Structure 1
Amino acid sequence: MSPKARQGLVILGASALVLGVLGGAGVALWRDFGADERAVLEPILNPRLGLLIMIGMVGAGAAAVLMKSFAHDSIAAPALLADEIGLLVGTDPSRRLKPSGSPELQRIAEAVNSLADQRQSLQDDVESRIREARLSVEEERNRLAALMSELNQSVVVCNLDGRILLYNNRARLQFKALSDAPTAAGGGEIIGLGRSIYLVFERNLIVHALESIQERIRRQSSQPMANFVTTTRAGQLLRVQMAPVMSTTEGDADGTVSGFVLMLDNITRNFESETRRDQLLNSVTEGSRSSLANLRAAAEMLEYPDLDVDLKDRFLKVIRDEVQAMSGRLEETANAFADSLKTRWPLDDMHGADLIAAAQRRIEKKLGLPTKLEDVDPAVWVKVDSFSLLQAISYLASRLSDEFEVREVRFRLSSAGRLAHLDLIWSGQAMSTETVMSWELEPMSFAGESSPLTVRDVIARHDGEIWLQREKTQHRAFFRLLLPSALPQEEVVAAAYLKGDSRPEYYDFDLFKQTEVSHELDDRLLSELAFTVFDTETTGLNPSEGDEIIQIGATRIVNGKLLRSESFDQLVDPLRELPEASTKIHGITPEMLVGQPPMARVLPAFHAFAADTVLVAHNAAFDMRFLQMKEQSTGIRFEQPVLDTLLLSAVIHPSQESHRLEAISERMGVNIMGRHTAIGDAIVTGEVFLRMIPLLAEMGIRTLGEARRASEKTYYARVKY
């Protein structure tokens, strides 16, 4: 029962007691009178019965007034003092109590302040010692941070559950380029501390690379690393190098794998630049040959009849010798360049479906030739030089389109033991074996691209085979490419990793201790969870009557820290008029919303930003109602748990008059900045929520489920929008 309710019951009880005592005394006195006395008093008291009742009510009122003062001093004042003590202990050790109320309560407040001073002194001493002990660690941290920030390569560090523990600015820029909403989230919906790397890469791809590292550790390799190439949703090619992070525990000198480092390179531009370089070199070679032919013809024109025979022969011999020498050098350069192309890229592990997807995009973009899929086995992995292999596949598709008027090609991929069958299928006229052989042996040239490599060279680079095969019943034919396969492991258990040789430690961060557990979120401690704290600004207060969101702001809490750098801040075009009254509150004008994306584009990005977290808001029912109103039109549902700082404040401080965000912030010592902007309110709400977690723990509310159940019991939980 709340202190206010108890105070009211005490006052009512005191009033009832006074009325009961006066009434009981009157009844007892009346019964004590004899018949003669009653006869005398009855005419006197009957006309004055109302006065007697009024006197009793005045007595009860006086008792209520006196009891209210007593109840305030004995119930309300101690409850308020307890709230203040809780804030001092749990959120702001520097605050001090203002002695008020009865002399006893004032002495308690002074004693608490004295204890707080002693605790502050001890904490200052402990913190001073900790700062001294951590100086070397901070120096290492700063060196690593400086190194990471200056690297030209994208670096992401993850634990075995795929949770991102560390990343550099280059990686953030790289992921921004992969983002579906670069202006709204800046890549923040797919990269951030505590986020899953599986939002970017297929889980099986990472698992396969970890399995490769395990094999290298088993063989006691000095460099247990893995490489693979994959495509992104935006159609870019990423080359990834993975290295394990080894950790040691007490009694385990060798160490075990506790995480991994991903070094990312976007090779899309390299792929394109290599293509342009091939075209340039080939054009220079062919152009030089043409120029030499013209020079040879010009030299022959020097054979005029009136020219001295000896002199003419001498010049002709010099010209012919130089021409032949230049031709030889150009031929030698072209051959050497072709040889370098054959060994330019190492063979990397690549998901077969990713390879086919890249081939489809390339054929449709370069040739305008439609493509389809047939029976692509998602479990097949191949070991390929994706650059040259994509060139070969595109070249074959080009020849089919140009010479046999093929209007569609299809892809099929299947496993054949240690090899993979990649089929390029078409319907139409059959071709001869001689034609196939000529295509295989000619330098590849198509759609403005040229390469001195042949299809046979590319296949030989992969130690594979290529042949033509016909399907007579379906009147189809296909090129079958035999490629080396890489067999991924479907499931890797972290505990099954083998111990490997210890590696030098270049930093001393405790990043790898926490791993994900499989129990339900309701059983998770609040201190363990990741949160997305958000707020919205709207055109009005009635979502069911057509009001719309015009701004969404959010930030994240991971491992007990508010990550202000990982934020979401986006204005939204409401596609309706913005009332002037709402502009006076949040300061957003109609001009500011011109050209902003509508909710149909912003909501998917925010949904991705908040994925795999618990939502936190102040008066969350209001914001969630606006999001729920968009479920039908966008198909996006926010199904994760929601916590409301308004309800949690009522749980922690039931005796307080106000639970507005400003009042809570003042009680908890949070500075308010950017009020009535979505991102500003989100940051303030996040700071308040972090201060609530230890106060809830003191009340025995430690898990998400306990916090939700306690919130549902408050009065404010009944408010609907």
Structure 2
Amino acid sequence: MSARRPIPGARRAVGLGVAVTAAGLLLWSGLAGALIVSTLDAAERAWLQQHLLPRLPLLLLATLALLGLVAWAAARFWQFGFSSADALLEEARVLLSTDVERELRPRGTAAQQGLALAFNELVRQRRLLRQEMAQQVREASAHVEQERNRLAALMSELTQSVVVCNLDGRILLYNSQARQQLGALSGGLPVAGGAELVGLGRSVYSVLDRHLVAHALEQARDRLLRGDARPAAQFVTATAAGQLLRVHLTPVRSGAEPPDIDGFVLMVENITRDFEQESARDRQLNEMMEAQRSALGNLQAAVEMLDFQDIDPATRERFLAVIREEALRMSDRVYRWSQLSAHDMGTRWPLEEMHGADLIALAQRRIGARAGEGAALRVLADEVDPAVWLRVDSYSLLLALAYLADRLVSEHEVRQFWLRLAAAGSRARLDLVWSGPAMSTETVMSWEMDNMSVGEGGGSTLSVRDVVHRHGGEFWFERERVRHQAFFRFLLPCAEAPAAAAAMSFVHSQSRPEYYDFDLFSRRDAAAAGDALDAMRLIDLAYTVFDTETTGLNPAEGDEIIQIGAARVVNGKLLRQESFEQLVDPCRSIPAASIPIHGIQPDMVRGQPTIDRVLPVFHAFARDTVLVAHNAAFDMRFLQLKEARTGLRFDHPVLDTLLLSAVVHPHQESHRLEAIAERFRITVIGRHTALGDAMVTAEVFLKLIPLLAEQGIHTLGQARQAQQQSYYARLKY
């Protein structure tokens, strides 16, 4: 529930004009009286004093009455002649700068009323012209719309999640499957149905690890430069919510020469259930093998006893019963296992098939970039078998190689490495070779067990032993005394057939999903803060437009939030599907007088999350955006009073549609949300509900942006400075 206070509009200008007129009349009267007195002789002055001084109060009253009449006439003239013109001008600019369709109300002088009527006629002509143009566009695009709808239906039916991002990881496209799947995995948000961190303009790195995506993109870029027809890569990752995802990355080509990348497409599949099922099968297989081993022991013992010739018939029958019973149990176990699993478990961690030479090339670059910072470091490929294909988790394996090299550089001052790769039966040998001092077995074991950390921001909770176990391989340290070299050796699984991973299905970016904005392809993260953020244009920013409903108007005296609603504005568009709406248990009573305003009954908030649980979710929803609200000082005060309790700071830049409306329309009598919406011909739905008011406020804000631009207000800093000059900026809560 937001506060509303009537503030005078054009009356200040009218009052100033009246005061100037009255002051002029008084000055003129005083000068005229002084001039007349100066022309009289002594006798005439005495006569005036005798006859006029006793009647001076009456004369002053008459003068004041005359001045009041003149002032009233001046005020009426001022308001009739100038204020009406200013109001008409503001309304006319709304029609010119926006797509609002309405007629000006004639007011003021006859000439001004005639201008309003003429302007209305021009507006009607423009409306007819727009209708004709819209009809032509509809006819011309009917076929395109039909194809687009077909493709949208196709995208919505895909079982896989599809996300398209620019090079900064900002989401340009996603389908409903991605919204449901990734949104549910984004950090384990505590409020059901609350915020979704998957949305247009948001960073995909809120769900996926930035280093993993960068690594896959680097692989795809290398393949693209080599002329690979399908330059794709894939990886497996675990989310913060404990889910296992298989991600297939395909670059979006720019079409330039040489080939370059504008962004990337992610096909995301949640394989948690499959992984758990395979793990369960593996456990069941082990249990069955143990049971079968015990049964075979019993069978063997019974058969050996039957070999004795002097055994009595009763004992022989008892041993035969044991054989039959154990045989039936073994048969039953085998049958149940065949029903549960049709194939072996295989490796626990899903691996990707990769050409060995590609892995060596990436390792050269990774070790040189990470371990060689500030040092002259050479990484050479030596004895690399081009026929070797591997099944590996390339990200963790390269991290292990870079980690070992980094330890050698920092602790033993190694400056040159060789990488070797060769087949070894069903597996492959990958060696990291160097020349340097001898190392103890204890040192190697400690390196193998420690968590890997490479440079700044390159840490991992994995150890080298974890990486080896993930591949089902082996790892050891050896010295070659003849060559005076040492090496770490990895035994890794080989792939049976090359390039199988590239055969995944892919939907081209021409298909129309449910949520997309390809204009964001040209946007790049500004990493702006402070002055840099203030210098950004209003049309380039992302906004969270929000509203709160509360128990009352006095947050400092115990009133609490009972509902928060918000919508996002990205690239000049209101994203209605990416909204936030949550009832809040205020842990106090709701005054009966406020219920008719917001319509929220006490039983509606009973059992809902408290503000301590809701604010972290809303804070995540509003991350990296500018906050927008109507009478924002009221809503922000409620949020700021919770900062110490929740540990969250809402230090976002804030824009207020009430203040901005007063900036662009200083001569309008009201800047209430309903009045502004009426001026802009915005339909108000769900008034005094948090989400409904947020949606209306967002539409109002989008209408205000071009009007601010007409006044030379283009950047965030200019808008923030302009709104602070408004009368409404004095309101405090």
Determine the structure 1 residue equivalent to 2:220.
213
Determine the structure 2 residue equivalent to 1:37.
44
Question: Counterparts of 2:192 and 2:632 in 1: how far apart (Å)?
Answer: 22
Question: Counterparts of 2:653 and 2:341 in 1: how far apart (Å)?
Answer: 64
Question: Counterparts of 1:238 and 1:84 in 2: how far apart (Å)?
Answer: 54
Determine the structure 2 residue equivalent to 1:18.
25
Determine the structure 2 residue equivalent to 1:517.
526
Determine the structure 2 residue equivalent to 1:314.
none
After superposition, the Cα gap between the structure-2 partners of 1:9 and 1:57, relative to the gap in structure 1 and judged at 3 Å, is same
State the Cα distance separating 1:336 from its structure 2 match: 11
8 Å CA contact 2:275, 2:348 repeated in 1: no
Counterpart amino acid of 2:635? D
Deviates more, 1:142-151 or 1:80-89: 142-151
The answer on 1:266 being equivalent to 2:270 is yes
Question: Counterparts of 1:354 and 1:587 in 2: how far apart (Å)?
Answer: 59
8 Å CA contact 2:567, 2:574 repeated in 1: yes
Q: Deviations over 1:508-542 (max 9, x none)?
A: 87442333335522111111111001111222222
Determine the structure 2 residue equivalent to 1:437.
none
Q: What secondary structure is seen at the aligned counterpart in 1 of 2:671?
A: coil
Question: Counterparts of 2:689 and 2:102 in 1: how far apart (Å)?
Answer: 28
The answer on 1:536 being equivalent to 2:548 is yes
Q: Deviations over 1:345-364 (max 9, x none)?
A: 543546549999xxxxxxxx
State the Cα distance separating 1:54 from its structure 2 match: 1.9
Q: Deviations over 1:361-410 (max 9, x none)?
A: xxxxxxxxxxxxxx9x9xxxxx9xxxxxxxxxxxxxxxxxxxxxxxxxx9
Deviates more, 1:669-678 or 1:32-41: 32-41
Determine the structure 2 residue equivalent to 1:465.
475
State the Cα distance separating 1:626 from its structure 2 match: 1.1
Counterpart amino acid of 2:613? R
The answer on 1:674 being equivalent to 2:686 is yes
Residue correspondence of structure 1 range 75-474 to structure 2 within 5 A: 75-180=82-187, 182=189, 184=191, 186=193, 188-248=195-255, 252=256, 256-281=260-285, 345-346=351-352, 347-349=391-393, 352=396, 411-414=449-452, 422=463, 464-465=474-475
Counterpart amino acid of 1:513? S
The answer on 1:569 being equivalent to 2:581 is yes
Deviates more, 1:290-299 or 1:47-56: 290-299
8 Å CA contact 1:172, 1:187 repeated in 2: no
Residue correspondence of structure 1 range 626-665 to structure 2 within 5 A: 626-665=638-677
Q: What secondary structure is seen at the aligned counterpart in 2 of 1:101?
A: coil
Q: What secondary structure is seen at the aligned counterpart in 1 of 2:208?
A: coil
Match 2:702 to one of 690, 693, 717: 690
After superposition, the Cα gap between the structure-2 partners of 1:602 and 1:336, relative to the gap in structure 1 and judged at 3 Å, is closer
Question: Counterparts of 2:181 and 2:651 in 1: how far apart (Å)?
Answer: 29
Q: What secondary structure is seen at the aligned counterpart in 2 of 1:13?
A: helix
Q: Deviations over 1:454-477 (max 9, x none)?
A: x99x78x66643699xxxxxxxxx
Counterpart amino acid of 2:269? D
Deviates more, 1:158-167 or 1:584-593: 584-593
8 Å CA contact 1:224, 1:244 repeated in 2: yes
After superposition, the Cα gap between the structure-2 partners of 1:616 and 1:411, relative to the gap in structure 1 and judged at 3 Å, is farther
Question: Counterparts of 2:453 and 2:64 in 1: how far apart (Å)?
Answer: 95
8 Å CA contact 2:247, 2:266 repeated in 1: yes
Residue correspondence of structure 1 range 49-64 to structure 2 within 5 A: 49-64=56-71
Q: Deviations over 1:97-124 (max 9, x none)?
A: 1222210001110121122123223323
Counterpart amino acid of 1:110? L
Q: What secondary structure is seen at the aligned counterpart in 2 of 1:581?
A: coil
8 Å CA contact 2:281, 2:341 repeated in 1: no
The answer on 1:71 being equivalent to 2:83 is no
Determine the structure 1 residue equivalent to 2:314.
none
State the Cα distance separating 1:32 from its structure 2 match: 2.5
Question: Counterparts of 1:609 and 1:295 in 2: how far apart (Å)?
Answer: 65
Residue correspondence of structure 1 range 537-616 to structure 2 within 5 A: 537-616=549-628
Q: TM-score, normalised by structure 2?
A: 0.72
Q: What secondary structure is seen at the aligned counterpart in 1 of 2:241?
A: coil
Determine the structure 2 residue equivalent to 1:440.
none
State the Cα distance separating 1:91 from its structure 2 match: 3.1
Counterpart amino acid of 2:567? T
Determine the structure 2 residue equivalent to 1:490.
none
Question: Counterparts of 2:489 and 2:592 in 1: how far apart (Å)?
Answer: 67
Counterpart amino acid of 1:85? A
Determine the structure 2 residue equivalent to 1:391.
none
Percent of aligned positions that are identical = 49
State the Cα distance separating 1:254 from its structure 2 match: 6.5
Counterpart amino acid of 1:517? A
Counterpart amino acid of 2:695? I
Q: What secondary structure is seen at the aligned counterpart in 2 of 1:76?
A: helix
After superposition, the Cα gap between the structure-2 partners of 1:340 and 1:607, relative to the gap in structure 1 and judged at 3 Å, is closer
Question: Counterparts of 1:343 and 1:590 in 2: how far apart (Å)?
Answer: 50
Question: Counterparts of 2:258 and 2:142 in 1: how far apart (Å)?
Answer: 28
Question: Counterparts of 1:22 and 1:336 in 2: how far apart (Å)?
Answer: 111
After superposition, the Cα gap between the structure-2 partners of 1:615 and 1:57, relative to the gap in structure 1 and judged at 3 Å, is same
Q: What secondary structure is seen at the aligned counterpart in 1 of 2:709?
A: helix
Q: Which runs of 5+ in 1 are unaligned?
A: 306-318, 357-374, 378-382, 384-409, 426-454, 469-479, 486-502
What value does the CA root-mean-square deviation take over the aligned residues? 4.1
8 Å CA contact 2:627, 2:655 repeated in 1: yes
8 Å CA contact 2:100, 2:680 repeated in 1: no
Q: What secondary structure is seen at the aligned counterpart in 2 of 1:190?
A: coil
Q: Deviations over 1:165-224 (max 9, x none)?
A: 111111111123214465736474411111011111222222111111111111111111
Question: Counterparts of 1:523 and 1:342 in 2: how far apart (Å)?
Answer: 51
Q: Deviations over 1:486-507 (max 9, x none)?
A: xxxxxxxxxxxxxxxxx98744
Question: Counterparts of 2:603 and 2:491 in 1: how far apart (Å)?
Answer: 58
After superposition, the Cα gap between the structure-2 partners of 1:565 and 1:348, relative to the gap in structure 1 and judged at 3 Å, is farther
State the Cα distance separating 1:20 from its structure 2 match: 3.0
Question: Counterparts of 2:684 and 2:100 in 1: how far apart (Å)?
Answer: 19
Q: What secondary structure is seen at the aligned counterpart in 1 of 2:541?
A: coil
After superposition, the Cα gap between the structure-2 partners of 1:467 and 1:255, relative to the gap in structure 1 and judged at 3 Å, is closer
Counterpart amino acid of 1:687? E
Determine the structure 2 residue equivalent to 1:28.
35
8 Å CA contact 2:546, 2:694 repeated in 1: yes
After superposition, the Cα gap between the structure-2 partners of 1:415 and 1:164, relative to the gap in structure 1 and judged at 3 Å, is closer
Q: What secondary structure is seen at the aligned counterpart in 2 of 1:148?
A: helix
Deviates more, 1:104-113 or 1:670-679: 670-679
Q: What secondary structure is seen at the aligned counterpart in 2 of 1:720?
A: coil
Q: TM-score, normalised by structure 1?
A: 0.73
The answer on 1:711 being equivalent to 2:715 is no
After superposition, the Cα gap between the structure-2 partners of 1:506 and 1:543, relative to the gap in structure 1 and judged at 3 Å, is closer
Counterpart amino acid of 1:621? A
